[in-house]
Amino acid sequence: MDDLLKNPIIKTAAIAGMTLAVIGGGTLVLLPDEKIKLDNPQVVEWEKPTTDAEWAEDVKKENFDIKSTAVLEEMVLLHKEKLERFINGSRETLECEECIKYEIESTYPELNESEFEDIYRIRVAEIRGEIEKLQQSIERMEKELELRRKGFVQVEGEPKGFLEGDVPENRVRYTKD
Amino acid sequence: MKIWLTIPVFFLTFLVFAPKAEATTYYVNFDCATTTTCGNGLATTTAFSGLEEFMEAARSAGDIAFVRRGVGSTTSATLDATSDGNTGNPIIVSADYDNLWSDFATTTQTYTVAAGSTTFTANASISDLSAGQWIYVAGDCFETYNSTTMNTCAEAYEVKSVSGTTLTLYFPYAGSQTGAGLSLRIMPSAPYWNQTQSSSCFLLAGDDNWYMKGIRFGCTPGVSGNVIQGGSGGSKNWTFEHTIVSQAGTARNAVGKTTANTGVEWLFKYLRVNPVAGAGFGVFAFTSVGPSVVNIENGYVYCGGAGPIFSGGGSIAGGGYFKGNWKNVYFDSCAATDVSSILTDMYEINCVNCVSTTTLNIFQKGNAATTPLPVSLSNFSYQYLSSLTNGVATSTIQSTTTASFLRPGGGPTVLKVLPSNILNPISKEYTLKLFEYPIYADTSSKQYNVYFTSTSTAAWTANPTARELWIECDYWSHAGGATPARFVKASTGTLNFSGSTAWANLSVSCQPAQSGILYLRGYYAKPKESGKMNEFYLDQTPVII
């Protein structure tokens, strides 16, 4: 749990190859990929970049290239806080399957066991999707900030990064906030 | 004939958002692939193709997405949000009210309009309007070229039907224009987000502070879904304005929350629900532990003849509650509510100026043996439901604007209260809530006065005590930074209903420790005296000194 919070970015293999770590009994439990079959699994599909140039393009998918550095830094903090809050708030669903199933059965007494299972799995998938999305966004924001610090990309009107020299036009950021 | 009364509720709102300088404007056009180019969402010509491209990316407070009208999307994915706005600076998704895509028009005919009416009359047979389009009367709203902030105009209306020279709206006109010869501005239909698969539809899970305006949500939710669905992590301070919720097929419910231990705080302003699916599925389904507060200011709920207001999933087990302050809600063809599985539930719905086209009870609690409280077309009643196990409150409160009942120098409406004999001050569950007004208050001391009158001194034997009729302030009692705490201060005075029919006031002085929302409430808990009406009126407009 602590690792997940301190390092909210699950590494390449985690997002590309395995499903979210579930908090179980205070330790991280990795779910095998194909355990749950869902009609519409809320998972993050992401071919993760491996080079600075790829990252510089990837972050544009969430428009982080047009955000000023100060706003991006604030967004990172806020989204990390939200991620922690959301994980903590989802502990019961993820750690006490029987508790949630009892609540589902009380709510929908007309359903059968298989349908209770489906509802529970959908909820887990929704939580998983939310967490993965937050993690992806945080990683993208942090990567954009890193590229700016390095000077790989430069923001019009802001101090240049470490590299100091000019960069090609396609690596100049023009903010719109 | 539908009769609408506009009951002014005295509260201050501050809904004009001052966007932060860091906010960014985006554009969504469901049809961009065929009409322009879909792109990064930063211009109308490079718009996002779907709501998810804006909502599911990380955004900052104040970011806004304008959505083109007259287009729809069909998707198979659940819609979710990733980021939170701030209180007072939400993240906004708004249909186009500013003609950003240059597809508005002005009517060929001119119209006669009147406040409070749902029909406009054209000077000739209507040639350029149809159901589903939106209009506003020239002068009520203004379009801002290249706007970067939400158009706050509320006086835009969806067209319900057109026939000859008659234009019918869903909601009564509340704009400032009146008379004949008025042009209307035609806006295309609401952008239609439509999901056609079997999981949750629009999932609000752990996301707070959003404002959605002018969007139609359609869905065929699955076994655990609602069209607008509260999920894990709760969702606070969502406002849906000019929102349409529609379902198809064997849907579940329009609006609901089915996840444990999560709270929702939603406000619907001009909500239209249509249609609700068959028996067993309804408008609202709020279940599981965790509080739900859903307020409605103006609603048009069409149940299609079989659907109830609260669906079969209406059980709130283990201490949760469903609270709602509803004003001006029209229930069309709704069935009795199925809430037979309620255990220790708490429903508290204050429904002011609510009308039903059916005489079936739509606010029923309990099993078949419980006597329902009927709501009929001609009955404007305010109902307070509690978790009584032996029946429902039969007190009645009606509103009127009839001049002879108004307090001289007072407000434009009064409430007439006819108490029942099951009231009792020993418990809130046996107490009638007369009103609740949220008021933005600063730290100065103010005296809050509410005026009452009895209809006849002969209608009373004993006057209500201070414990049986009172008003109270609920306000912040700390100066900030400390553990949050609120204080409730009640009036201590009494009224001489048995001795005088003159208007007299109860008052309470309150001074919050910090600025914020103060709630002014009124309660009545005196059981009706045998052989006496115990009828009284209260002026709905408090006087604050």
Chain B residue closest to A176 (CA)? Answer: B24
**3-class secondary structure, A126:** helix
The pLDDT of residue A122: 81
In a 13 Å sphere around the CA of A51, the CA atoms on its Cβ side amount to 2
Token pair 């499903």 in the structure block, residue: A19
CA dihedral B20, B26, B27, B30 (to 10 degrees): -120
What confidence tens digit (pLDDT) does each residue in B173-194 have?
988 899 999 999 999 999 999 8
What share of chain A has pLDDT > 70, as a percent?
71
Mean pLDDT for chain A overall? 75
Minimal Cβ distance to B233: which of A60, A86, A111: A86
**3-class secondary structure, B355:** strand
Residues from chain B contacting residue A119 (CB–CB below 8 Å): 223-224
What confidence tens digit (pLDDT) does each residue in A27-54 have?
333 333 322 233 444 566 788 999 999 9
| Beta-carbon count within 10 A of B524 CB | 22
Mean pLDDT of B525-536: 88
Task: Give how far A91 is from chain B: nearest CA, Å.
Answer: 10
- For testing the chain A interface, which of B20, B22, B79 should be mutated: the one with the most A CBs within 10 Å? B22
The pLDDT of residue B259: 66
The pLDDT of residue B218: 85
In the predicted structure, residue A7 carries a pLDDT above the cut 50: no
What share of chain B has pLDDT > 90, as a percent?
47
Least-confidence region, from A68-72, A168-172, B367-371, B394-398: B367-371
What confidence tens digit (pLDDT) does each residue in B191-242 have?
999 877 656 688 888 899 999 999 999 887 565 567 888 887 889 999 999 9
Residues from chain B contacting residue A90 (CB–CB below 8 Å): 232-233
CB B73 within 8 A of CB B192: yes
Report the distance separating Cα B458 and Cα B308, nearest Å. 42
Minimal Cβ distance to A63: which of B57, B76, B289: B57
- For testing the chain A interface, which of B20, B25, B232, B287 should be mutated: the one with the most A CBs within 10 Å? B232
What confidence tens digit (pLDDT) does each residue in B299-354 have?
888 877 666 676 644 445 555 677 777 777 887 877 666 544 433 345 666 666 67
Minimal Cβ distance to A62: which of B58, B198, B233: B58
